[in-house]
Amino acid sequence: MSNIEQRGLLLQGMPAEGLQQHISNLRNRLVYSGCNDNLAIEAFATVRELSDRILGMRHFESQLLGGWAMYQGKIAEMQTGEGKTLTAVLPAATAAMAGIPVHVITVNDYLATRDAGLMRPLYESLGLSVGVVTEGLDFKSRRAAYCCDITYTTNKQICFDYLRDRIERGSNTGKLNLKLACLRGEASKNVNLMLRGLCFAIIDEADSVLIDDAGTPLILSRAVEKDDPMLTMYRQALVLGNELLPGKDYVLCESKRTVALTPKGHLCLERCAIGMDEAWHMPRRRNELVEQALVAEHLFKRDRDYVVHKKKVQIVDGNTGRLMADRSWGRGLHQMIEIKEQCTLSANNETLARISYQRFFHRYLKISGMTGTACELKRELRKVYGLGVVRIPTHRACRRIAIPEKIYLSVGHAHAAVVASALALSALGRPVLIGTKSVLQSELIAQRLLEAGTEVQVLNAQQDVDEANVIAQAGNAGLITVATNMAGRGTDIHLGGGVAAIGGLHVILTERNDAKRIDRQLLGRCARQGDAGSYQIISSLEDELPRQIYGESFIILLSVFVHRKSNLLPCWIGSRVFNFAQRRREQTSERARRFVEREDERLSTILSFSGEPE
């Protein structure tokens, strides 16, 4: 990065008018000569200098390294708190000044809006326009945002907008067809398109977008008629499912979230179907509907997998803790959960178009990204997306202190230990962030803290209205914050006055997630940018992960090793148990992603004969 430093020295003493003239000349050269390495070095130095003047933030060498890795089309692994938002400006502005439309893609609307707002003055001083695409924007606003030089959005928003454009264009999507349309005077059809194309994507939290979300295909659908006869069948399926006996008529598999009817269950359903509509006399359809009803009844839990708000079932993303208001489960599962929760019944959906993230991101001319947790996935990222991973050294030495993990016999004992630890540290003046895996757990712990007579703020999918304010206060002295994974990725908690001197923020993780990467994201909220901080994991053998992977019998057997007075499992045993469970879950998730990729390829082959785009 010495070349960038040398170029930067020439710009430091340049007056504002001279710098603007330099930017104008640089943009012309980038447009007409292409974005080669020499011009990119000059662009990096210019952006760095302007950032110092406009924002008061000068890129560190580690940020220059991260930006250069992304410019080269790689994933930059930068530790939490290293300033990835500012780093992304370097490749984004360089490409945009060369006339390349840039999409900066992140995991939620909050981060997209925040990052665009923070960096807008810098982009505008470079003569670049910035757009933001979030949930709720109308067609005109979306199109205007995508027409900007740089567009901040989320992976779900841009993927669905791409599918809408594909439907709008129909099957005539080839370059030759588009040129012929122009000759025939039909080019006005493109007025109804939102995107200008898929040119260069910079993916923030790349492992979440490219890996965690890749296990589920994106399906664009529309509601069918409300009087769909299937809605009645869903109600009947739930009634029939409640007449079956667990263990005798069906077997639950919590780890895979599936239900298998036994031979006795098949016979019982056959008897129950006598006298019902003709549709119930088809064994395969009948069994599938009842199995789905049992899944809805027993394997999907309120305030864990979904929340109920204003008589509406809304899905909660387990990895991020956020609501997915525009998403619904398929094959009748969503409607069956609505019936179970006595909510307003939504219409069935019919599929208009679908695509996986694997296929979608292959459509870009160039992609790159950044995250704090990528090295564990470098094999899969290279195999699926052709992306290399570069680990970027930290700007300052990390001062994060890990306190030994505690694993209790029961959830009750674990929660009591969490509350005691939080109260003790809060009394010393240190802020505490308590991370939970579900809305329900966050509410239970918050209630315990309130009963103990302490002030607490809560951040979860049901209480997300004032998210920015909660995060802004979370580093204040003595304050306790209870949050789901919403407080994980991208969240920057600034320490209040005097907090750094007494140890900084302390993070308590109350339940391990399905992947270590997600744990690391939450634990990484403390000790950022060389500050002091500490963390501890306090969990129990009754948590969802060990119970689903090992089963109740193994947990009972393991409880033999629990110290009876303290109700604690020896740390070396507990860590191995949980580490193995996370590896098993990660392997299962990888197989699911491979299945989605193969299924997408299969559907593409089938649709290629009909000329349909997706």
- Name the one residue in this structure whose structure tokens are 């007409």: 32
Among the listed residues 330, 360, 317, the one whose alpha carbon sits nearest the alpha carbon of residue 161 = 360
CATH of domain 399-578: 3.40.50.300
pLDDT of residue 216: 83
- The encoded tokens of residue 235 equal 């109600």
Alpha-helical runs (H) found in 224-282: 229-242, 263-272
Mean pLDDT, the chain, rounded, equals 90
**H or E segment at 412?**
helix 411-427
Residue 609: Cβ within 10 Å count: 7
**Residue 410 exposure: Cα atoms within 13 Å on the Cβ side:** 6
Residue 559: Cβ within 10 Å count: 14
Tell me which DSSP letter residue 302 carries: B
Where in the chain are all domains bearing CATH 3.40.50.300? Answer: 2-170+191-218+356-391, 399-578
CATH value of 225-347 in 3.30.1780.10, 3.20.20.70, 3.90.1440.10, 3.40.50.1220: 3.90.1440.10
CATH value of 2-170+191-218+356-391 in 3.40.50.720, 3.20.20.70, 3.40.50.300, 1.20.1530.20: 3.40.50.300
451 contact partners, CB below 8 Å, separation of at least 6: none
pLDDT of residue 190: 59
What are the residue ranges in the chain where pLDDT is below 70? Answer: 1, 171-191, 225-227, 465, 607-614
What pLDDT digit, counting tens, does each position of 440-486 carry?
999 999 999 999 999 999 999 887 768 888 998 999 999 999 999 98
Where in the chain are all domains bearing CATH 3.90.1440.10? Answer: 225-347
pLDDT of residue 438: 93
pLDDT of residue 612: 53
612 contact partners, CB below 8 Å, separation of at least 6: 171
